[in-house]
Structure 1
Amino acid sequence: MILLFLGTLLGIIFGPALFILVPYIRNYFAGAVCKSKAKLNGKVVLITGANTGIGKETARDLAKRGARVILACRDTAKGEVAACEIRAETGNQQVIMKKLDLADTKSIRQFAENFLAEEKELHILINNAGVMLYPYAKTADGFEMHLGVNHLGHFLLTFLLLERLKQSAPARIVNVSSLAHLMGRICFHDLQGEKFYQRGLAYCQSKVANVHFTQELARRLQGTGVTVNALHPGTVQSELTRYSSVVSLLWKMFSFFLKTPQEGAQTSIYCAVAEELESVTGQYFRPESLNCPVLGFEKAFEQLHSEVPLCSPVSGTTSHLGIG
């Protein structure tokens, strides 16, 4: 009875204040908005996983800016629906869907071959697609699914398109990562999760790989006119949680505090179009300020290299990709 009375009393006292603060709380979680008015007429953009979520919203925004946008999607039905929707809304008929399965290197190579034959330029590559909390499984080539799709698939795709990006310079590579990298590490002794597997840790490992790949590629591309940056989109309402019923339920319970896909796409859009980033490379961006380098990143990167060179054929990985 006393607890009920106290609860009612607190509700009467703080209820109005919370009601007033709700919009401000929501705006805080929404993050910053990309304010760049840059036009992309004549530019070619490739976005992986653009049939839904922040990938789709990024594609929508860049199409409005006049770019030729290629949606690289595994689910061609959803991809075509997304492309049709964006074309109808923006009036930009240069929005095209192409089949790409990042869990299959044959699909990646076929996609790259077709792209290079059809597109003479590539100005912006956004490595956006990903899986999260996936039950243990391997890609068509035997890689653990998170590492294979989130990192190795994009690694190979970027490698195959790199010369076209250089030829089209100034060009940008944008890698969508996550703050989950702060909770992860590269398990070189069990890269494929065959000895121990935990979905969350596997996802975190793939995000660590994204960030280190960004830093090393940026170093190697110095002076080429191609920049490489990574980003954290924020906590977004998306289909990424569909492989975990528990996390999906939590996402629904706290959906008020999560970003919409449009809000979550702002950091990707910023990294792709902001004029002030034309020569910025090797950085990590967060939605709060749209420019927040990873704290202690250089130290972590040096530690990684002290353990094993990033691009050496760890457990035969790069050789299995056909580039080692």
Structure 2
Amino acid sequence: MYLLYTIIASLVSFFILKCMKKRRYCTDLKRLDGKTVLITGGNSGVGKEAAVALAMRGARVIIACRDPDRAEKAVREIKSRSHSLNVLHMELDLANLRSVREFCKSFLQREKRLDVLVNNAAMPSVLDWTDDGFSMCFGVNHLGHFLLTNLLLSRLKECAPSRVLTLTCSTYKYQKLDFQDLNYNLLPFFTYCRSKLANIYFSQELARFAEGKDVTTYAVHPGFVQSDWTCHYSFLFRMLTQVIMWMFFVPCEVGAQTVVYCAVSDEAAKHSGGYFVDCRPSTLRPFARDAGVAKKLWEASERLVKLV
């Protein structure tokens, strides 16, 4: 009985601390009229909330996702909540590099502007493989966005000043990259951590690659949010995780604040390649700031997606 009371008291304490913790909100009121924003995975979670917020600021918002039905439903919701009709969707499957190439070809033909690219879509810790034979986390979370960004970089440069936001996670700190096995797919959580570390290196190297082109980049950790990533798991796991998320995680609307901040803030533009948490720059672990590793990952990624 004592153990039960201890557990209950601990949970209550954690809940109170969570409620007391204040999260920063984006207070920059800059509008994005005439600008085009592309958000991968913008049909749910943080991506959808960011789409609503940026559409409210006047941006033309395009959400890219693989399920047309879910995308259409999300577009209707985003239009309703943002009171903007300038929202649409395009089909994109980041687990298929051919789909990424076809998407970029279509986008460049249809859209004359790209001012903000938000690499938001991500796969959770699942043991699965992409159509091209990469582990799902590494293939979708890193390689898919790597190819997407590179193929759209010319349009970003034409529309400069422009921005690239890549969502990552603080779990990056639990793993390092192994260049002998970048396609690691053994322990799901560690696979996810490596993909999120790759996102950080990618953002840093992209900042160096685009230096002088007025294209700034940001690695964004939205916090631990109450998203629907558990849909890939069993019913029991989903139920347990939903309880934990309700107690300790923040709503997706709050998580999207740092995305919005990095999309509009002049202050953020001074920290290209930086890692942002809670609407401000944050310090990375030393190993995650290794420019040599970032460059090596970029070159390896070019080969893997056949850009060279």
Scaled by the length of structure 1, the TM-score of the pair is 0.86
- Structure 1: any 5+ residue segments left out of the alignment? none
Q: Which residue of 1 aligns with 2:303?
A: 319
- SS of the equivalent of 2:34 reads coil
Is residue 119 of structure 1 aligned with residue 111 of structure 2? yes
**Larger C-alpha radius of gyration, 1 or 2?**
1
Deviates more, 1:81-90 or 1:149-158: 81-90
Kept after mapping to 1: 8 A contact 2:258/2:277: yes
Q: Which residue of 1 aligns with 2:168?
A: 177
- SS of the equivalent of 1:191 reads coil
Q: Which residue of 1 aligns with 2:102?
A: 110
Residue-by-residue CA offset, 1:289-308 (whole Å, 9 max, x unaligned):
5321324256x414626xx8
- 1:1-324 aligned at under 5 Å gives the runs 3=2, 25-28=18-21, 31-135=23-127, 137-193=128-184, 197-245=186-234, 248-254=238-244, 255-287=246-278, 290-296=280-286, 300-302=289-291, 304=293, 309-313=296-300, 318-324=302-308
- SS of the equivalent of 1:143 reads coil
Kept after mapping to 1: 8 A contact 2:36/2:114: yes
Matched letter for residue 64 of structure 2? A
Runs of 4+ in 1 over 4 A off after TM superposition: 21-24
Q: Against the structure 1 CA distance between its residues 323 and 22, is the aligned structure 2 distance closer, same or farther, given a 3 Å change threshold?
A: closer
Kept after mapping to 2: 8 A contact 1:237/1:251: no
Matched letter for residue 297 of structure 2? L
CA distance in 2, matches of 1:162, 1:81: 29
Residue-by-residue CA offset, 1:73-130 (whole Å, 9 max, x unaligned):
1111111111111112222111011100000111111110111011111100000000
CA distance in 2, matches of 1:121, 1:311: 26
Matched letter for residue 178 of structure 2? C
- SS of the equivalent of 1:158 reads helix
Matched letter for residue 106 of structure 1? R
CA distance in 2, matches of 1:68, 1:138: 33
CA RMSD of aligned residues (A): 2.5
Residue-by-residue CA offset, 1:43-69 (whole Å, 9 max, x unaligned):
000000000000000000000000000
CA distance in 1, matches of 2:290, 2:5: 50
Kept after mapping to 1: 8 A contact 2:167/2:222: yes
Deviation at 1:216, TM superposition (A): 0.8
Scaled by the length of structure 2, the TM-score of the pair is 0.90
Matched letter for residue 284 of structure 1? Y
Kept after mapping to 2: 8 A contact 1:38/1:275: no
CA distance in 2, matches of 1:247, 1:318: 37
- SS of the equivalent of 1:36 reads coil
Kept after mapping to 1: 8 A contact 2:224/2:250: yes
What is the percent sequence identity of the aligned residues? 39
Q: Against the structure 1 CA distance between its residues 155 and 70, is the aligned structure 2 distance closer, same or farther, given a 3 Å change threshold?
A: same
Number of residue pairs matched? 304
